[in-house]
Structure 1
Amino acid sequence: MLRLFAIAFLLVPFYLAAQVTSSIDSTKIKIGQQITFKVEVEADTTDLVVFPEGQTFSPLEMIESYKVDTTKNNAKYQLIKRYGLTQFDSGSYTIPKQKIIIGSKTFFTDSLRVEVSNIEVDTTKQGLYDIKPFIKVEKSSSNRWLIILGILLAVLLVAFLLYWFIWRKKPLSEDAKIALLPPYDRAKLALKKLDESTYLQNAELKDYYSELTFIIRKYLDEKVYDKALESTTDELISRLNLLKDANQIELSTEDIRNLETILKRADLVKFAKSAPDIELAKLDRNTIDIEIDHVKEALPEPTEEEKLLNQQYKEEQAHKKKRRKVLLTVFISVFLIIATVIGFGIKYGFAYVKDTLIGHESKELLEGNWVRSEYGIPPISISTPKVLKRLDTPVPEELNDRVKITAFGYGSVLDFFSVIVSTTTVAEAGEDNPIDLKQAPEGAIRQLEAKGIKDITVKREQFITPNAAEGLKTYGTARFPILNSENFVDGHYAIIHFVAEGEKIMQQIMITWTDDDVYAEETVERILNSIELKKAEE
């Protein structure tokens, strides 16, 4: 039994290893040619299987990750995952071991060797041509045009509503059209509508005489005596006689007597419940019609001065109406702008709204078109708001043969925001004399102090990139000098260090920003989360 148990114990690793196998369809390819890396996994139906993702095949480049093929065999799943790999430089390369997680266990594939050879060019059959010139590439557009389009549509909508409800010349209603007629025409039209009424058919004499006397009183109020509507019959007749005697109106005594008779009969109908004959009511209507004509004829023609004053009055009224429209439009526009600013301020914060309207450099960096690129050898892949430009990094002459530094950056440590990526190669370092990652931050801190930065606090922690590269993060606060000034501004810094390729290359990412920059924290976090390291070619 003990011997059987020992044999079973020795077979367990082989059983587990048999769950993961890997292979490639070719070990020799031309530059740029694709090979397929295949991983086969056998697992229980309840196990979670995690395949490698991202550029984990360096120095080969993954150009495509295919979907997992799954087949079921009793209580097991047979999973096949394929990757398309290539390389654009000739040489001999090794595909590193790939980590596969099955349930709670971790497995590694075998490392595989691939030979990449140059493509032979027969220059006797294939002509050689000059290198083509650079082609200008248009900058990719952001979603800012959508914001501008939305604002434009909102402005057009408000403008249309203001035009429709305030500035549009609205069609006149029937009553409005009548109100624009001269008093004489309105009086004649009112008599015509009175004829079309059913007052006399229904023997509603009180309403009939009320309407009839209102027509003549309204006409007199507008053309003769401006208190005709509110005066009693005696007061009105007395005023007409005075105007006649003063030669201000050429009405005959008979005309005034006819008006007096009809007005007093109407008073009896309205207040004493008198009921005259229907034909008499019709006769009174015709008399009023005639008297309206007589009053018009009796009125003196307006003088040129009166006509001018009337024109000026109309122009003043039109100017007042236009001014009311302008004031109302301005008030509504200002109200909508203030309401919009307050609404966005409540939702996003008033500082954000202010920076959006006025502009803020860090906000524009954060919301602009970011660039992902690789810097140095071995390459550091990083996303930044702007492309990092190569920086001059002088090295003392005595160290020229031993130290090489390449650096790329945006801004400097004395600016309000900066990103600097550098790669330092030390010739004397190596596996026997490796660069000490823990000592690297001390040199970076000394560089900050040499720039005049003071009161530097230092904290350290492990830093792991999304593709599992391990480094050291040094961060803290400091006081940065303001250029051309003796003053300082409070700020932060973060420095990431990695050691690569035989422990003789040190890679560094340094980011600095000020305390009062409300957008910098999000920008820095986005930059740090984007850092990935790629292994150098063997």
Structure 2
Amino acid sequence: MAISKKEGNNMRIKKIKFLFFPCFMLAALVCNNPVVAQLSANIDSTNFKIGEEIVLKLTVETEKLVALKFPEKNLFGSLELLESHKVDTIFKSSKTLFVKKYSLIQFSPGEYTIPKLEVRVNNKILFTDSIKIKVVGVKTDPNKQNSYNAKPIFKSSKPQKKTNNWILILLAFIAAAIGLVIYLRNRRLHAELKEKEEALPPYELAKRSLFELNKTILIENLNIKLFYSELTLIFRKFLNKTIYNKSLESTSEEIVNELRALEVTGGFKLTEKTLLSLQSAMQRADMVKFAKSLPAAKTLHADLKIFENEIHNINRVLIEAEKERANKGLTENKAPLKNKIIKKQKKLVLGSILTFVSVLLISVWWFGFEKLKDVIVQNPSKALLDQRWVKSEYGAPGVFLETPVALERESKKFTSDSTSLGSTHVMFSFEKRNIPLKIILNNSFLDNKASNTNQAKVDPLEEMEEYGLNALEKIGVENLLPKRDVFISASGAKGLKTFGPANFKFPAQPENDAEFIILNFSDSLRLHQLVLLWRANDKYVNKIVERILSSVEPNKELQND
């Protein structure tokens, strides 16, 4: 029976499938047969000395070549990894050994554990057993070691080079100073340039910025997003400084709506066509910035022209409105300047007051309130104490006395009933209305004839003392409580001292508490009396009195007599 050609081909294909099917099955079994591998880890010993190398050996035993991955990181617990050696391959009959060595070390004694380590064989992961080791210290005996004498010091024949560290420090300081000067100079120039730009009128600043931006259109690889960002920012800054102070944070639609509103309320003559062109340009800028749109070069020129025209139109309207306000006599533009001047004056006054108060408080804390008050109000007693004093002799011979000002001379006659006091009497005095102090110095001669005929002799010093007390009562001193004592000058001259409290109202003083001192000196021919009356509670006058008393000194001729 005849077989067609088509049937013959089908029979041959069936025979081929029948023969190759067992081969494919065998290959699949071989490929899917898992790899048999054994992993072991060992070390030479479990006891080591400090600093001794610990060699860890990982061994993988397989029947054929496989893909291995040993641990490379420091995964050995508290032990430090010194070196990771290369993998050694050893062939034994039908088996293959892969050996990986690690050099470990530890410098502290104690017991440590090498944790389980992971080794990847093809796609299978094997783990080693953990290993415990012990690191012990090394005992040393310095007495058993060899000792050697110290070597002598030899001077080098070559001079040592001295490192001039100060030169390096100086150079570093100069370099730092130059860098600082350059930085400050550039910063100052940048600030000056920025101030000049800010000082320009908004229209001039916008024109200059648009002119600079127009140059960038011809640049290859122009960043269109940055171009539109700069373009809209120039326009927004111009609006912010002129008619709409919220333009920087407003959306494009809000700006266009604001311009429409100003066209109605503010008289801005902007046509609807112009506003639509502006709105289209701003929307195109938003598309470029946020939607990554890429307009053509002609569109860049057209949009820049639109913004330039809008800025020009708004500036023209502002100029016309300013002229109208000037014609009507309005001074609205002067109000901000006036307010600015007033604010500046207020700040200046406030700063001056704070400075004055601060200086005043510091002065009070440092000098004290009373002393500061006396300096500010010019206390006359303090001024008298601080001025240059005068030392002079009053009488011939008389008494040396140091006073803030020279005493004035007055010639008078005694009115005392005493017969021992002569009629010749010279008086020197000091008195000022605004200073609570009186100084009186009396000089007189004894009447020896009257004293010789007087049967009951009276001490002239006591008579002079009585005269001084009466003189104080005559000028209005009350409630005198005199005490008597011996006065001895710095040179040893003796006299009679009468002192005590009293009441006397000095002009322009709040109280009448006073003190007085009367000093009397005499010899066979002359009598000298110093009377001091002052306000008790005036510390400066008390110092004046102390200094006057310390300077009282009778003439040596008077002492010799």
Instruction: Tell me the CA shift for residue 234 of structure 1.
Output: 3.3
> Are the aligned partners of 1:414 and 1:481 in contact in 2 as well (CA < 8 Å)?
no
Q: Distance in 2 between matches of 1:247 and 1:313?
A: 15
User: Cα–Cα, structure 1 residues 520 and 312, in superposed 2: closer, same or farther, change >3 Å?
Assistant: same
Partners of 1:397 and 1:460 lie apart in 2 by: 21
**1:81-480 matches, cutoff 5 A:** 173-195=192-214, 203-220=222-239, 228-237=247-256, 249-251=268-270, 255-276=274-295, 281=300, 284-293=303-312, 301-302=320-321, 304-308=323-327, 312-396=331-415, 403=422, 404-411=424-431, 416-428=436-448, 435=459, 437=461, 441-480=465-504
In the superposition, relative to structure 1, how do residues 363 and 326 fare at CA in structure 2: closer, same or farther (>3 Å)? Answer: same
Does 1:532 find its partner at 2:556? no
Percentage of identical aligned residues: 29
Name the counterpart of 2:156: none
Alpha-carbon distance in 2 for matches of 1:335, 1:448:
51
- Specify which structure has the higher proportion of helix: 2
CA shift in 2, pair 1:275/1:529, >3 Å: farther
Aligned amino acid, residue 439 of structure 2 = V
Distance 1:347 1:498, change over 3 A: farther
Asked if the contact 1:199–1:207 (Cα under 8 Å) also holds between the matched residues in 2, the reply is: no
Q: Give the structure, 1 or 2, with the largest relative contact order (CA under 8 Å, sep 6 or more).
A: 1
Deviation at 1:513, TM superposition (A): 0.3
User: Residue 514 of structure 1: CA displacement?
Assistant: 1.2
Cα 1:288–1:447 shift into 2, 3 Å: closer
* 2:521 is the alignment partner of 1:495: no
Aligned residues: 363
Counterparts of 1:363 and 1:269 in 2: how far apart (Å)?
84
The answer to whether the Cα contact below 8 Å between 2:536 and 2:542 also exists between their aligned partners in 1 is no
Matched-pair contact (CA < 8 Å) for 1:200–1:278: no
Return the offset for 1:209. Answer: 1.7
**Secondary structure of 2:534's aligned partner:** strand
Shift in alpha-carbon separation, 1:355–1:255, aligned structure 2, 3 A? same
Shift of 1:497: 2.0
Q: Which amino acid aligns with 1:188?
A: K
Q: Which residue of 1 aligns with 2:539?
A: 518
Which residue number in structure 2 is paired with residue 82 of structure 1?
none
Residue matched to 1:167: none
1:214, distance to aligned residue in structure 2 (A): 1.9
Q: 1:435 to 1:412 in 2, by over 3 A?
A: farther
Q: How far is 1:511 from its partner?
A: 0.5
CA contact (8 A) 2:403 2:548 kept: yes
Deviation at 1:282, TM superposition (A): 5.4
Q: Which digits, 9 at most, give the CA deviation of each residue in 1:297-356, with x for residues without a partner? A: 688933753235796123222322222233233333333333444443333443343343
Q: C-alpha separation between the residues in 1 aligned to 2:388 and 2:325? A: 71
TM-score under structure 2 length normalisation = 0.54
CA distance in structure 1 between the partners assigned to 2:387 and 2:358 by the alignment: 27
For 1:451 and 1:248, how far apart are their aligned partners in 2? 91
The amino acid of 1:424's aligned partner reads: S
* Equivalent position of 2:22 in the other structure: none
1:451 Cα offset (Å): 4.5
Report if aligned partners of 1:440, 1:497 keep a CA contact under 8 Å in 2: yes
Deviations 1:21-50 (A, max 9, x none): xxxxxxxxxxxxxxxxxxxxxxxxxxxxxx
- In 2, distance between residues paired with 1:451 and 1:237? 97
User: What's the TM-score once normalised by structure 1's chain length?
Assistant: 0.56
- Structure 2's unaligned 5+ residue stretches are 1-190
Displacement after TM superposition at 1:241 (Å): 6.2
SS in 2 for 1:455: coil
Say which SS state the counterpart of residue 331 (structure 2) adopts.
helix
Partner Cα distance (1:198, 1:471) in 2: 111
**How far 1:190 moved relative to its partner?**
1.9
Q: Per-residue displacement from partner, 1:163-187 (whole Å, max 9, x unpaired)?
A: xxxxxxxxx9444444444433221
Gaps of 5+ in 1: 1-171
Q: Kindly indicate whether the alpha-carbon contact (under 8 Å) linking 1:370 and 1:384 is maintained by their aligned counterparts in 2.
A: yes
**Counterpart code for 2:447:** A
**Are residues 427 and 309 of structure 1, via their aligned partners in 2, closer, same or farther at CA, if it must alter by over 3 Å?**
same
Q: 1:375 to 1:309 in 2, by over 3 A?
A: same
